[in-house]
Structure 1
Amino acid sequence: MALPKAQVLFGDSPEAPALSNAQVSERFDELMKALDSAPTRTLNQADIAKAFGEGRGISFENGPSTAYDALSKAISPEMTKAISPDALASITSALDALKAEQPDLMKDLTTTSPLSTGLVAYDLEAPAKMLTPRPTPLRNRLPRRKGIGLAHQFKVISGFTGTATGGVANIHPGIVDTTQTNFAPAGASQSLYYARGPKISYAGYDKTVAYSQFSVSDAVTWSAQYAGQGYQDIRQLSRTSLLYSSMLLEERMLLLGRGTSARNFLGALAAPTGLTVTARSAAGSETAITGAGANVYVKVTADAGDFGQSVLTAAVSAAVSAGQVVDVVATLPAGATGMRVYVSTGSSDPGDASRWYAGRAGYNTFTIQGALPTSGTAASAVTADTSAYTAGYDGILPICTGADSGYVNRLNAALSTSNPGSEWQTAFAALYDNVKADPDRTLLNGSDRKQLSDSLKTSSSSNYRMTITQDQLTGVTLGDVVNTIINEVTGKGVSVEVHPWMPQGNAPIISDTLPLPDSEVSDVWAVFNVQDMMGVDWPVTQFAFESSSYWMGALVCYAPAWNGAITGIKKA
């Protein structure tokens, strides 16, 4: 253990402030001579072995632990006699000053001392865990075909006499011997009269589906890549994440994409109409509004799913009292997946900057309850329509709810419990009546499929019964699920599937193939790509590794009328 320097012990002593170096040295020599004459004990190997052999061990409890302890212990009565009174006074004064500086040096070594983070190992498991859901069922199922040019085009014969489709009327084919029917062949200037039946008619149209380009990118700085060595390959993580991100975004485009009308797609959603706001007493499990002023002010938009929403409606208000909730009701436009609600409060309307997003509903009613939002996304951020994009195409749900769909029913209610699945039976019958469609599957949000399955258990109809079999008497399996709906019109089983990204309240009804053997349509839905998905590593022009994905294509639906949708399903 090192002793303090001589100047610390003597040079700054109050009793001798002007001591010369020689005097300091002389006093230090006196101290060293006194320390050398102090009694000492040296333990040899025999002493240590004997102590441990007798189970006593070697105790250092009384040994000095700091410089202050060593010097204090050394100043014994014998040593005080060996040095002058002035030197002893200097040492005592210096020791008193040293004592005040010792507390931090006297602490034990613990998990928080001398460092708050501890002198401990960091048990870090490599690599990072990827808790990132990435299902892409539509992308995995739909055929992917080669496209060329700027758009995919095809021609459709939508009807001819007798099909009752395409707007072509039926005619009676009966004739008699004297029947004379005249019609001129194409390009002829005169009509020819023959004993023949009436001429049939056709309907058809051209369809053009424009291609769009898509890309997302990522970058890894050199410092991130090299600092991660030994833990994880950050560049590899970036490339993998970029690939999955591209696939997931394409999946959402296939389901929810919406192109602009300027490119012959469905176009932007209109804002909801008929907005009303009504305060009422909270009922059942509802929570009364808190944080409200005299009034609440509400604006809503038509929800387009993951990619955006319509423009805002005008504000509508209602006076609110203690113990009340507020029902927001609106008429949603065709194609909307629901509505988004923005709310503000006060004696007067504070404006869109203080009107906060309160949530969404999959049908035409949203109940404002609980604490009013005071932060998040403000209505002032909704400055333009984001429901449709120039670089985009129509996805499955917009097509199934669009103008060319074979059937759309906005329920604005929960699913039936008196006749479970009746909503789909109505749709199947309508699709069959319209074009003799025979759908293959229906897609639902998880909570909507649960509601459909629960409708069997809560049905008031005696036609459904659950039976516990003998082998379940001591171990009953709870729960049941609807995985198929039998089409009561055609007798075909329609698969019930949950899509992970389906907005609640919507259930498209899809035909994968047509019940027409010579339709020249092998698949109702197909993806055409001029360039299928690829990855691009950019040249290194700065201290970063940069990558992008790229693809160019569109979703094509050959027969929209063979598909339909049930929307506005109230969440149970």
Structure 2
Amino acid sequence: MALPANLELLFGESPEAPKLSKAEVSERFDDLIKSIGDMPERELSREEIVTSFRGGQPIDFSSRPTNAYQYVQKALGAPELNKAISPDTVASVMAALDGLKSQQPDLVKDINLTSPVGTGLVAFDLEAPAKILAPRPTPLRNSIPRIKGNGTSHRFKVISGFTGSGTGGVGNIHPGILDTTQNNFAPSGSSNSLYYARGPKISYAGYDVVLPYSQFSMSDEVTWSAQYGGQGYQDIRQLSRTSLLYASMLMEERMLLMGRGTASGYAGALAAPTGTSLVDNTLGTGQVALTGYTTNIYVYVTADAGAFGESVVSTVATIAPTAGHNVVLRLTDVPQALGYKVYIGTGASQPANSSFFFYGRFPNQAANGGGAGGTGIVLQGAIPTSGANPPTADSSAYAAGYDGILAWAMGTSSGYNVKINSTFSTSNPGSEFQTAFASLYNSVKADPDRILFNGADRKQQSDTLKAGSSNNYFLQITQDEVRGVALGSVAVAIMNETTGKRVEMEVNPWLPQGVCPILSDTLPIPDTQVSNVWSVVNVQDLMGIDWPVTQFAYESSSYWFGSFICYAPAWNGCVSGVTAA
């Protein structure tokens, strides 16, 4: 190896030694390195190192103070301090320290994730902006045509039938004539007789439709402190406007589906359930006893209108159940109800309205098995002791509102409306809808386009293909699926056995369980002057307004003015009362 340049300074010539050659200097360096390499190795312990700095005396680390309190405590016990301070004074100071220790725990803590600040001396890894996880699907609003309206109402005239159509209550006339045939052609209402040798005159039926427009609006507010405080994290005004837009669209979606209006031409409020009674019931299979009462129970029922409310309450029904039994609630179906809401109170006498609490919603009067020799809603399990109280006024319909799809499809002008009060058939899957298709075709030659389902009802209908052992459906696994079978089968459409048309099955995210409207989007009739059976007619479509600043806040509103129209309600229908599987 090469010699360092300064080796001569270490091993070379000095006043007391003769000059060495380079070979001799190199040999001395090698001897030094070898000696260093041959030195014995030893690792000193912590105690040995500290002892070397304390005159060879070992240190007792177990008695070493570890926090501020212990340092002060040790200092008070030092001999030097005890000479200058009386024992009573030292004891007093120690007592004060003990009290301070309990009041100020940070005196006895190290710095960690909770000390000296409870939330820690740490940074926040806050990701901006806020995540908006609110679902906002609006399939009806996205698909139903929107047309321009004028004035304060939408009007149209309907020719509902004429001779030979079989609709509108118009009868049939045989068209055969003879040379001697004479028919009266005098104007209607005239007492004159004008007979001609002609075939008989045809007849017509028709009616006017006047549907008033309603105004709709929603609003939001952002305070200045929220807007400016959010700088660097999120634009709060932008969030407010976006949320307001989506909220308006989502509420319109629900109105298109479940709205009910009270103005002339609309369906109006739902009637309260009638015929309510309670029957003591011995427990059936899978049922449990009713609990949470000592004497009587009292029950109110309302007709469910969906997203926007319910009817007024029924008359109260009461019973003193047998211990270990449950109770069956029976009632008379309300034709257009989407289900029923039950409220229960208890006591020796009928309690105040504020002591009745919401028990549950049921899609029909046979919602969970019935009992006591008939159908009904089984009241079982614990009676609620808190929650919503029965309504004191109707909220099923609104003066500023219109009829939605369900009000039309289940209303008096609907072409077909039935409550099956059961699950879907497994012995003949889809039979409930085949019956509806046949009825609609026989009445007005309707050929529906789609059926809307709640997600649970769509799954139940799909499962009917697998549930019935006597049906003629089977599932087949093809060769390429042997190593990776996709579980589940989905019914996507129903073939109309009456007309041969494929009727699509669609899930609507806001449709209540138990209700399946059958819809026609177009009419299977030429030259009807109806391009779309369903239309949104707005004088002013959805718009946004930013209000002038009149306080320390930014305020916004949405606004639209119009109605929802069904030009041919008889071409639509509904299967309801579907019990959850």
What's the CA shift for 1:501? 0.8
Structure 1 pair 431–56 and aligned structure 2 pair: CA distance change class (3 A): same
Matched with 1:424 is: 433
Q: How many aligned positions are there?
A: 513
Query: Is 2:292 aligned against 1:291?
Result: yes
8 A Cα contact 2:303 2:341, kept in partner: yes
Contact 1:330 1:364 in 2 (8 A): yes
Corresponding residue SS for 2:211: strand
State whether structure 2 residue 343 is matched by structure 1 residue 321. no
Task: Return the alpha-carbon distance in structure 2 between the equivalents of residues 540 and 216 of structure 1.
Answer: 18
1:211-222 equivalent positions in 2, closer than 5 A: 211-222=213-224
Structure 1 equivalent of residue 560 of structure 2? 551
2:415 touches 2:443 (CA, 8 Å); kept in 1?
A: yes
Change (3 A) 1:228 1:179: same
Residue deviations 1:336-379, cap 9 Å, x none?
Answer: 11111111122332232211111111112322221111111112
Report the Cα distance in structure 1 between the residues aligned to 2:45 and 2:522, rounded to whole angstroms: 89
Deviation at 1:453, TM superposition (A): 0.9
> Alpha carbons of 1:127 and 1:200: their partners in 2 closer, same or farther (altered >3 Å)?
same
Q: How does 1:363-442 map to 2 (within 5 A)?
A: 363-365=364-366, 366-379=377-390, 382-442=391-451
Counterpart amino acid of 1:504? Answer: Q
- Other-structure match for 2:26: none
| TM-score normalized with structure 1 length | 0.84
The alpha-carbon deviation at position 417 of structure 1 amounts to 1.1
Change (3 A) 1:279 1:65: closer
Q: How does 1:522-561 map to 2 (within 5 A)?
A: 522-561=531-570
Is 1:538–1:545's contact at 8 Å kept on the other side of the alignment? yes
Matches within 5 A, 1:219-298: 219-260=221-262, 262-298=263-299
In the TM superposition, 1:22-33 aligns within 5 A as: none
Q: What SS does the aligned partner of 2:288 have?
A: coil
CA RMSD, Structure 1 to Structure 2 (Å): 2.6
The one-letter code matched in structure 1 to 2:170 is V
Matches within 5 A, 1:192-203: 192-203=194-205
Change (3 A) 1:463 1:109: same
Q: Which moved more, 1:91-100 or 1:195-204?
A: 91-100
Cα shift readout 1:254-296 (whole Å, capped 9, x = no counterpart): 0011011x42211111111221212223333333222122222
Shift in Å, 1:66: 4.2
CA distance in 1, matches of 2:109, 2:495: 78
| Partner SS, residue 215 of structure 1 | strand
- Give the letter for the 2:430 counterpart: G
Q: 1:123 aligns with which of 115, 122, 125?
A: 125
Distance in 2, Cα, partners of 1:405 & 1:267: 15
Please list every run of 5 or more consecutive structure 1 residues that lacks an aligned counterpart in the other structure.
1-52
CA contact (8 A) 2:65 2:74 kept: no
Pair 89,200 (structure 1): closer, same or farther in 2 beyond 3 Å: closer
Q: What TM-score results when the alignment is normalised by the length of structure 2?
A: 0.83
Distance between the aligned counterparts of 1:205 and 1:502, measured in 2? Answer: 31
Name the CA distance, whole Å, in 2 between partners of 1:240 and 1:473. Answer: 48
Q: 1:281 to 1:191 in 2, by over 3 A?
A: same
Q: Could you tell me which residue of structure 2 aligns to residue 456 of structure 1?
A: 465
Kindly indicate whether residue 563 of structure 2 is the aligned counterpart of residue 564 of structure 1. no
1:487 deviation in Å? 0.3
Name the CA shift for 1:170/1:231 in 2 (closer, same or farther; >3 Å). same
- Gaps spanning 5+ residues in structure 2: where? 1-42, 51-58, 367-376
The reply to whether residue 486 of structure 1 matches residue 486 of structure 2 is no
Shift of 1:90: 9.6
Distance 2:171 2:442 in 1: 15
Distance 1:66 1:251, change over 3 A: closer
Which shows bigger deviation, 317-326 or 555-564? 317-326
Secondary structure of 2:290 counterpart: coil
User: 2: distance between equivalents of 1:295 and 1:87?
Assistant: 79
Structure 2 counterpart SS, 1:398: helix
Cα distance in 1 for residues equivalent to 2:513 and 2:210: 31
SS at match of 1:263: coil
Residues 4-403 of structure 1 mapped to structure 2, 5 A cutoff: 62=64, 66=68, 69=71, 96=94, 99-100=97-98, 103=101, 104=105, 105-184=107-186, 190-260=192-262, 262-365=263-366, 366-379=377-390, 382-403=391-412
- 2:73 touches 2:94 (CA, 8 Å); kept in 1? no
Displacement of 1:233 in angstroms is 1.7
Residue-by-residue CA offset, 1:304-330 (whole Å, 9 max, x unaligned): 111111111111122223332222121
- Report the equivalent of 2:524: 515
* Distance (whole Å) between structure 1 residues aligned to residue 130 and residue 573 of structure 2: 43
Aligned partner of residue 471 in structure 1, secondary structure: helix
Amino acid at match of 2:276: L
- Are the structure 2 counterparts of residues 55 and 386 from structure 1 closer, same or farther at C-alpha, using a change threshold of 3 Å? same
Shift of 1:512: 0.2
Show CA shifts across 1:181-224 (max 9, x none).
12125798854332111111111111111100000111111111
- Structure 1 counterpart of 2:136, one-letter code: R
Paired with 2:117 and 2:168, the residues of 1 have a C-alpha distance of 81
2: CA distance between counterparts of 1:298 and 1:350?
A: 11
Deviation at 1:127, TM superposition (A): 1.9
The CA distance in 1 between the partners of 2:379 and 2:495, in whole Å, is 38
Do the aligned partners of residues 94 and 488 (structure 1) sit closer, same or farther apart at CA in structure 2, a change above 3 Å counting?
closer
Q: Kindly state the Cα deviation for residue 125 of structure 1 after the two structures are TM-superposed.
A: 2.3
CA distance in 2, matches of 1:278, 1:113: 64
Whether contact under 8 Å (1:298, 1:342) holds in the other structure is yes
